[in-house]
Structure 1
Amino acid sequence: MATSFDLGALFQVWPSFLSPSRPFSRPYLSSLACRAAASPSGEDLEALPLERTVVRFGLPSKGRMADETLSLLKNCQLSVRQVNPRQYVADIPQLSNLEVWFQRPKDIVRKLRSGDLDIGIVGFDTVSEYGQGNEDLVVVHDALEYGACRLSLAIPRYGIFENINSVHELAQMPQWTAERPLRIVTGFSYVGPKFLKEKGLDHVSFSTADGALEAAPAMGIADAIIDLVSSGTTLRENDLKEIEGGIVLESQAVFVASRRSLNTREGVLEITHEILERLEAHLRATGQVTVVANMRGNSAKEVAERILNQTSLSGLQGPTISPVYCKRDGKVVVDYYAIVICVPQKTLYKSVQQLRSIGGSGVLVSDLTYIFEEETPRWRKLLSQLGL
């Protein structure tokens, strides 16, 4: 039997789509109508992902994580084009059939789970907290090398905690009972309790807060906190300390995807592959420089032997050596060989000194943008996870 619905009720269910800055397309309205017909109350709309063909990429909308994410993508020649900074939708010209959606990090994870996003970049702490072990979430790249922090348990330096320096010692304190549990305030209500249960703390109560957690013990409303820590300065300034065994997890920015989308939505796997390749190649090149120099020698092999005897000149797989041709007395001769190697930027001066010591001259140095391997290891791992 056909189900009827009130279009006005539909607009009440979807107030965020009534803005004149967001044009409606007929297929989009039809899809909304079908969803509203399936659930006139609107209660199940979140559980019914829209049918669509475009791939959706979720990025953090604000803060340092957002800035560093856009910077990384730009360095990978994947600049995000946002026509209007007030809009939440953008694109990446190099990737067709892709929409970029700016969202809060926790909403990126939630919408990956619901199917409203296909891929995203967030902190691993956010994936752990809001993903809650959901097997549909796949971490495609686990180390994007920014947003580094740790989720850690911290206790006061004073009072009954003065001589407590480990989670084991904390668990052995006789103060914690069913009537008087250890009180912890945190914004991580999933991974926090899970961690302490695994550590053997049975008598614990949790309260939730989003900011200024460091003040809670001094105010007497909590005994300890579980919060993100970067340098630890804020903890020290509030007379708190981390303890041995108290790190819940280490976090940094990660590239994450929906397993269902990778397996079923057209184009998601291919776009994920290209983004992953660019990320891996760029991050592999970060901190490396190309060094080109001329070196006098009798043969390429003889020059190679001199270079490989120097510990910092081996490059990625060994030096590339080619003859330098010049004309002398009307004849083409080879007196020099050009060598090309990659060296870490932090050891550049040492490498230049070693080149000079074995006859290198005319040294040129240039930055690297990409280092593509024969195959991306994380791509092979992803295909294995997907059973492909």
Structure 2
Amino acid sequence: MSVSSASLFLQPYFRQCPSLSPSGLSFFCPLSSFHISVAWGPTTATNKPAAAVTCCVSSSQQFESHVSVVNGNIDNRISERDEIRLGLPSKGRMAADTLDLLKDCQLSVKQVNPRQYVAQIPQLSNLEVWFQRPKDIVRKLLSGDLDLGIVGLDTVSEFGQGNEDLIIVHDALDYGDCRLSLAIPKYGIFENINSLRELVQMPQWTAEKPLRVATGFSYLGPKFMKDNGLKHVVFSTADGALEAAPAVRITHLLKFYCFVKLATNSLTDIHFMMGIADAILDLVSSGTTLRENNLKEIEGGVVLESQAVLVASRKSLIRRKGVLDATHEILERLEAHLRASGQFTVTANMRGNSAEEVAERILSQTSFSGLQGPTVSPVFCKRDGKVTADYYAIVICVPKKALYKSVQQLRAIGGSGVLISPLTYIFDEETPRWRELLSNLGL
């Protein structure tokens, strides 16, 4: 099919991309937010077209300023863009928790169509949200397609591979908690192995018979083993259900043998179930799945502790206009909300001769330190035609776990009319993470 006939056949979804030659096509999908442009170069001696020229552009750019890739190289003449791009997980628990966190920070994400992969945050002008797979968020940060992203630290570490262009702006968003950990069977030769050191020293591992580890972390896994001195090890790449990979016990094999024999009258596939791996390296939350599959974690076997983080491209922060300011606002909102999480304002009235005397009584209680200290102010009332201050109002900030104890202590020192309300935000004079970021950037 020729270019012209293909264009006519698929109208109205094709249009001309301005960066292409007249023989180029631009495909626009109305259910998504992307345009993909393709053109064929001169025909070679083998009657095959030369390498294609393609470009992929967000619908918000309206073909005005998009990235063009020519034979794998970015065309710098039109690679500049004005909008700031934030990558968010597209599905799963991480995606839902991320949207909830942003909503709590008054940064609700607005999607015109839930099927679209591009959205907006009205409070942040000129910012475009891209919904992507977590690993693609990291890759697009490195390629320059994204400026900011929220993903798990494990994903940043695995797919970022220590690249200095990735900067962790906020390292503790307080969800997505897990750990990347090594697990081995509880039985057989591993029954008395309880630490990484013992595993490394096992005489069974040789060049001819190395330790076999199933993992989806092909960068962090080998790096961890090398750093811990385990030379004879091989990795098999696997995603999901890794708990089934280690060798099963003989009783389980016999049951499986009978099942397969009766069901299929063939034992061909049973060999794939016997000793696929000796250990697994995978993400662990509670450890329940490991225990249910007769696996155990070992001392020293944790590769990293992970949770959701805000990550940015160093180049974007320094070079792209508006990215640093947007990052500052997002960081401040996140910090203010997370710091206020689980904190309560406690207000009470207390009799006293002076604010100093009341403050001294309050500070005698260890749980009343507050953020910088208690606020004490006079409560004025009119008595016998005169305005007096027989009471003082105290305001303190108390964590949830110490709330009831604080109320009891307030009553013990004369407090009454105790009011309690949850805190939504706590804004510092300047967030420490912002100072760290500026220092990291050399600003």
TM-score range, shorter chain: over 0.9
Distance 1:151 1:49, change over 3 A: farther
Task: Describe the SS at the equivalent of 2:87.
Answer: strand
- What is the number of residues matched between the two proteins? 375
Q: 1:54 corresponds to which residue?
A: 83
Q: Is the 8 A contact 1:50 1:116 kept in 2?
A: no
Q: 2:411 corresponds to which residue?
A: 356
Q: Within 2, Cα distance between the matches of 1:23 and 1:73?
A: 25
Q: Within 1, Cα distance between the matches of 2:164 and 2:77?
A: 19
Offset of residue 44 of structure 1:
3.3
Distance 1:6 1:386, change over 3 A: same
Q: Is the 8 A contact 1:181 1:204 kept in 2?
A: yes
Distance 1:233 1:27, change over 3 A: closer
Distance 1:30 1:301, change over 3 A: closer
Counterpart pick for 2:148 among 119, 123, 130: 119
Structure with more relative contact order (C-alpha pairs < 8 Å, separation 6 or more): 1
Offset of residue 35 of structure 1:
2.5
Q: Within 1, Cα distance between the matches of 2:112 and 2:198?
A: 55
Q: Within 1, Cα distance between the matches of 2:362 and 2:88?
A: 45
Task: Describe the SS at the equivalent of 2:420.
Answer: strand
Offset of residue 26 of structure 1:
10
Offset of residue 143 of structure 1:
0.5
Q: 2:327 corresponds to which residue?
A: 272
Distance 1:331 1:30, change over 3 A: closer
Offset of residue 211 of structure 1:
0.9
Task: Describe the SS at the equivalent of 2:418.
Answer: strand
Residue 361 (structure 2) pairs with residue 328 (structure 1): no
Q: 1:213 corresponds to which residue?
A: 242
1:1-388 matches, within 5 Å, as: 6=21, 11=26, 18-21=28-31, 22=33, 29=63, 31=65, 35-36=68-69, 39=70, 41=71, 43-44=72-73, 50-217=79-246, 218=248, 219=273, 220-388=275-443
Task: Describe the SS at the equivalent of 2:123.
Answer: coil
Q: 2:52 corresponds to which residue?
A: none
Q: 1:14 corresponds to which residue?
A: none
Q: Is the 8 A contact 1:321 1:337 kept in 2?
A: yes
Q: Within 2, Cα distance between the matches of 1:49 and 1:154?
A: 49
Q: Is the 8 A contact 1:49 1:115 kept in 2?
A: no
Q: Is the 8 A contact 2:151 2:310 kept in 1?
A: yes
Q: Which moved more, 1:171-180 or 1:142-151?
A: 171-180
Task: Describe the SS at the equivalent of 1:35.
Answer: strand
Task: Describe the SS at the equivalent of 1:117.
Answer: coil
Task: Describe the SS at the equivalent of 2:68.
Answer: helix
Distance 1:143 1:300, change over 3 A: same
Q: Which amino acid aligns with 2:29?
A: S
Distance 1:101 1:46, change over 3 A: farther
Distance 1:188 1:84, change over 3 A: same
Distance 1:30 1:327, change over 3 A: closer
Offset of residue 177 of structure 1:
1.1
Q: Within 1, Cα distance between the matches of 2:159 and 2:441?
A: 22
Offset of residue 27 of structure 1:
6.5
Note the alpha carbon deviations across 1:130-160, whole angstroms, 9 max, x for none: 0000000000000011000000000111111
Offset of residue 50 of structure 1:
3.2
Distance 1:159 1:49, change over 3 A: farther
Q: Within 1, Cα distance between the matches of 2:91 and 2:148?
A: 18
Offset of residue 254 of structure 1:
0.3
Distance 1:9 1:152, change over 3 A: farther
TM-score for both structures, normalised by structure 1: 0.93
Distance 1:72 1:191, change over 3 A: same
Counting aligned pairs with the same residue, the percent is 76
Q: Is the 8 A contact 1:65 1:147 kept in 2?
A: yes
Q: Within 2, Cα distance between the matches of 1:261 and 1:23?
A: 22
Note the alpha carbon deviations across 1:313-360, whole angstroms, 9 max, x for none: 121111101110000111101110011100011111110011011111
Q: Which moved more, 1:311-320 or 1:224-233?
A: 311-320
Note the alpha carbon deviations across 1:239-286, whole angstroms, 9 max, x for none: 011001100000000000000000000000000000001111111111
Q: Within 2, Cα distance between the matches of 1:46 and 1:231?
A: 48
Offset of residue 293 of structure 1:
0.6
Q: Which amino acid aligns with 1:144?
A: L
Question: Which blocks of at least 5 consecutive residues in structure 2 are unaligned?
Answer: 1-18, 36-58, 249-272
Q: Within 2, Cα distance between the matches of 1:258 and 1:130?
A: 14
Q: Within 1, Cα distance between the matches of 2:214 and 2:133?
A: 22
Q: Which amino acid aligns with 1:145?
A: D
Task: Describe the SS at the equivalent of 2:382.
Answer: strand
Q: Within 2, Cα distance between the matches of 1:302 and 1:364?
A: 22
Q: Within 2, Cα distance between the matches of 1:20 and 1:298?
A: 73
Q: Which has the larger radius of gyration?
A: 2
Q: Which amino acid aligns with 1:20?
A: P
Q: Within 1, Cα distance between the matches of 2:162 and 2:25?
A: 33
Q: Which amino acid aligns with 1:286?
A: S
Q: Is the 8 A contact 2:65 2:78 kept in 1?
A: no
Distance 1:216 1:335, change over 3 A: same
Offset of residue 175 of structure 1:
1.2
